[in-house]
Structure 1
Amino acid sequence: MTPPARRPAVAADPDTTAFVRPYALTRGRTRPRYRLRLESVMHPGTGRPGPGLPEECGRITALCRARPRSVAELAGTLGCGLTPAKILISDLLAAHVLIPATTSDLDQDLLLRLRAALTMKWLDE
């Protein structure tokens, strides 16, 4: 019996290998430092992202500077999943790059409707 044929090694094409594993973005972390809800809205803060943060943190910062965004919207825009997005947002909160909106800044009825719609689409982690 002959062993199965091995596939030849193929060099990775950078245009087709743009996917980054979530654990690589979060350096193996599986839980955010802060408890963030789907509807939590992030505003830009006074800090700057450090050199050790992934480039997605720069994208999050730029999106929030354009206008305040919810955690769910940031995760959807990044396309990296909810938990990795929460971990990256937590890193930015710790560096004072982002600040969460206070409840007095937001319409409570709008938040309740938004939360109901989002939890039907995604499970709150």
Structure 2
Amino acid sequence: MTPAARRLSVAADPETVAFVRPYALTRGRTRPQYRLRLESVMHPGTGRPGPGLPEECGRITALCRARPRSVAELAGTLGCGLTPAKILISDLLAAHVLIPATESAPDPDQALLLRLRAALTMKWLDE
């Protein structure tokens, strides 16, 4: 079978799944523009994805419009890997299509931390 005939038979087979390399999705970029944690939750913003963004950005936007989702959940749903997902999410953050949740953790109770330090010090001094 010639290479051209093989390409046609593969393209005509509906069971063939197209595989897109991660660097093709991210246009060769290997680092996101923003530092994103796995548990960072993304909400829909007021911007719109530009025409140069891959179709996965549209999927991310649709998922976040349905309900806020974490970076890890978006990467798992897309199935493209964590770093490429972070890069695509970064692109959407830059375009104001997504906004991160601003959940601030409460300050830890100082008295509890002092008691914990004292207990750990006593435990380690005894051994």
CA RMSD of aligned residues (A): 10.3
Residue pair 1:38, 1:124 contacting (<8 A) in 2 also:
no
Distance 1:68 1:15, change over 3 A: same
Distance 1:39 1:92, change over 3 A: same
Instruction: Please list the CA deviations of residues 87-121 of structure 1 after superposition, one character each: whole Å capped at 9, or x if unmatched.
Output: 00000000000000001499999999999999999
Tell me the secondary structure at the aligned position of residue 6 of structure 1. helix
Residue pair 1:44, 1:64 contacting (<8 A) in 2 also:
yes
Number of positions where the alignment pairs a residue of Structure 1 with one of Structure 2: 125
Tell me the secondary structure at the aligned position of residue 43 of structure 1. strand
Distance 1:12 1:41, change over 3 A: same
Distance 1:68 1:119, change over 3 A: farther
Structure 2 unaligned regions, length at least 5: none
CA shift, 1:17, in A, is 3.7
Q: Distance in 1 between matches of 2:4 and 2:93?
A: 52
Distance 1:20 1:99, change over 3 A: same
Distance 1:70 1:117, change over 3 A: farther
| Larger displacement relative to structure 2 (47-56 or 102-111) | 102-111
Residue pair 1:39, 1:115 contacting (<8 A) in 2 also:
no
Q: TM-score if structure 1 supplies the norm length? A: 0.73
| Larger displacement relative to structure 2 (62-71 or 96-105) | 96-105
CA shift, 1:8, in A, is 12
Q: What is the identity percentage for the equivalent residue pairs of Structure 1 and Structure 2? A: 93
Please identify the structure whose Cα radius of gyration is greater: 2
Distance 1:66 1:35, change over 3 A: same
Q: Distance in 1 between matches of 2:92 and 2:109?
A: 25
| Larger displacement relative to structure 2 (63-72 or 106-115) | 106-115
Residue pair 2:10, 2:16 contacting (<8 A) in 1 also:
no
Q: TM-score if structure 2 supplies the norm length? A: 0.72
Residue pair 1:32, 1:90 contacting (<8 A) in 2 also:
yes
Distance 1:106 1:35, change over 3 A: farther
